[in-house]
Amino acid sequence: MSKALVIVESPAKAKTISKYLGPDFEVKASVGHIKDLPKSQLGVDIDNDFTPEYEVIDGKGKVVADLRKASKEVDVIYLAPDPDREGEAIAWHIQEEIIKSKKPIFRVMFNEITQRGVTQAIAQPQPLNLKRYESQQARRILDRLVGYQISPLLWDKVKRGLSAGRVQSVAVRLVVEREQAIRAFKPEEYWNVDAELSAALPPAFRARLSRVDGKKADVRTAVGAEDVRQGIAGQTFLVRDLQKKERKRAPAPPFTTSKLQQEASRHFGFNAKRTMQTAQRLYEGVELGDEGAVGLITYMRTDSVRLSDDAITMARAYIAEKYGPAEVPAQPNVYKTKKGAQDAHEAIRPTSMDYPPERVKAFLSPDQAKLYTLVWRRFLACQMNPAIYDATSVDITAGPRFEFRATGSVLRAAGFEAVYRELTDETNEPEGTGEGEDAGDEARRLPAMAKGDALALVRLHTEQKFTKPPPRFTDATLVKELEEKGIGRPSTYASIIQVILDKEYVEKEKAGRFKPTELGEVVTELLVQNFPEILDVEFTAEMESRLDQVEEGTFDWKKLLHQFYGPFKATLTTAKESMRDIKREEIPTDVVCEKCNQHTMVIKWGKNGRFLGCSGYPECKNTKEYRTSDEGQIEVVKDELAGVDCPTCNAPMAVRNGRFGRFLACTRYPECKTTKPLDTGVTCPKCGKGQLVEKRSKKGQTFYSCSTFPACDHALWDRPIAEPCPNCEHAFLVERLKTGRGTRGKPLGVVCPSCDWVKQAAGGGPTAEGEDEADAE
């Protein structure tokens, strides 16, 4: 009989912990949550203080029975799910199911799955945390109240199967409002004026026009640029002022959850879900050959930048040995956790300096190796010296009216940048608006100059530019926005993003940027109009703050629910009467139906979005796709004939757009409803039986797969072209427009997937150009 039973939520975690605890402990996994609110009903007794009605999750009966049996055969029980709110809920529900064993039950929390971390946690057991559980329970009930009462309304007003969420709907709103800002954006013209100059000694350098007549330069037109050119003609360029300063760049703090997600997106193109799944495995333990399973990083759901004294000590010792004592600051770098952050756990860091990336890389998957290296380098960097630059700023006059500025810097001491440098997101700042300073000046070399020196004008460069709209969100910038606005918590960012993708409220473009779907925009518009408080960013952030207060024991969870539900119920009642009925709505147009020539077409809503339908329905069932012009005019989209006949009725088939991408449909629809996948004309190279056909993934990305799927699972991202390679005689070419998974450094354009031969365009260059993008998912 084992002395103790340890229950964790993950089989992988159980395997690692078993190695550290030895034969006196039995370690079992609950495999996640064992109880939840029922799927088929609200499951919350609103009239009885919002009492939840939990039930064992379908398929978890055997797990629960096994835990009950094991609990009767030991002397003491340790509940050790993840050290956060969700983990606390799992622990409470397990306790409810095994409490009849009448054995002592304790809570232990592993911040790291190492010998030290596990033995210390077991040696310091705690009671279960009721307030943390109540906070999770309040969040679960809030989400259920919103989701299960707004979603049926959307089913009735828009279409079945839709869902609304207290947090997910606000995230969709962010994406929708960004898209609206992009559409409303009016580009403004501006001109950069750069003087290419030379001093007594090389190199030549560029300086940007910074001031005209004592005011900040603001050149908006070609005429204005030409006026500058003429005004400068014949003027002498003189160094008016020269300043040299030492600049220090401090290292970034160690990783929090959101920062890890952002940097993994910037460096590797990982989405938030991919990052968290990879981090989970690194935390729970990875098999390292003869050493067995080892937890390589600390707990990965945290918004604290705090490090333990032991962690700082081991980092400083490693830095001194690896990079030299001079790279270790006199005092440890200490980082302040932002106000309102949960500080229960350390920042994300390696558990030991005994496992440098190069030592364990052979045992890790490619994703694990990338993410572990990122965590390792960020952790070391945060305890190193700052990077030191010699920065030079030169102000140059060209006659009495014009002033230019050149800036440059030289790295004097790499400091932490020898190990790690944080990447940044693009901004919406027009180039050259910072008093003549450019991005990227750090690497610019300037010649030796002194105040009063005359400079020679080599050439004057003028360049037309336009301000750019705010960019669509990437995984990194959407997580950053959620964090900054207080929407969700570290443990929820990945799931929020995954849900809005799965529900098809947003989609990802090939460049990995989020764009709202028509469905997402329609649902957001309805929710903002009818549930303004639920969709309010500040209200959602305030609810997160309240949930934190419940966990801290300063706010009652039932009071929170009562305060929320009263106004929500009233709003819900009003919305049932006043919400627009999109499903049954018909918007008239002046487009005449070409089939019956008797009625005009109306805009209707269907399962694939808006379309034109004959107002004479059901007598005339004609439908058409349409687009709205920039002037707001309705334009019928003419069917693209595919050049093949319908196998059923011999009518021409046309290319149509559907939920899962383009397909062929009979032009006699709805009389004939025959459809076919869009064939590329290329035989599947794997099975030789099917054809490669065009499809679209759940995330909106076009790909090409075998028509015999699932019998053959061959698929590729690049569009196949039915043309053999003249170099190696491969059966077909592909149109590779952007780099993706497995194509780093390979040529772009129409290329051979076998030998990378590139088809040259008429002008002599490749047929397509592109920039690196995130790995296709």
Instruction: Please give the positions annotated as active site.
Output: 299
Specify which residues 677 forms β-bridges with. 663
Can you tell me which residue has the tokens 């039932």? Answer: 558
> Using an 8 Å Cβ cutoff, are 695 and 677 in contact?
yes
In angstroms, rounded to a whole number, what is the distance separating the alpha carbons of residues 705 and 696? 10
> Using an 8 Å Cβ cutoff, are 714 and 732 in contact?
no
> Using an 8 Å Cβ cutoff, are 606 and 593 in contact?
no
How many other CB atoms are found less than 10 A from the CB of residue 129?
19
> What tokens appear for 562 in the block?
């009562």
Specify which residues 393 forms β-bridges with. 243, 407
Using a 10 angstrom Cβ sphere, with 0-12 exposed, 13-18 middle and 19 or more buried, the burial of residue 352 is: middle
Closest C-alpha to 394, from 246, 248, 238: 238
Please report, in angstroms and rounded to a whole number, the separation of the first and last CA atoms in the chain: 48
> What tokens appear for 315 in the block?
């980092």
Amino acid code (one letter) for 472: R
In angstroms, rounded to a whole number, what is the distance separating the alpha carbons of residues 441 and 390? 12
How many other CB atoms are found less than 10 A from the CB of residue 24?
10
Radius of gyration of the chain (CA): 31
* 710 prior amide bond cis, ω within 30: yes
| Alpha-carbon distances, residue 15 vs 26, 299, 529 (angstroms) | 10, 17, 51
| Alpha-carbon distances, residue 595 vs 325, 548, 667 (angstroms) | 83, 61, 12
Closest C-alpha to 54, from 67, 32, 39, 66: 39
Helix, strand or coil for residue 38?
coil
Taking the CA atoms of residue 666, residue 669, residue 671 and residue 673 in that order, the dihedral angle to the nearest 10 degrees is 60
Number of residues assigned to the chain: 777
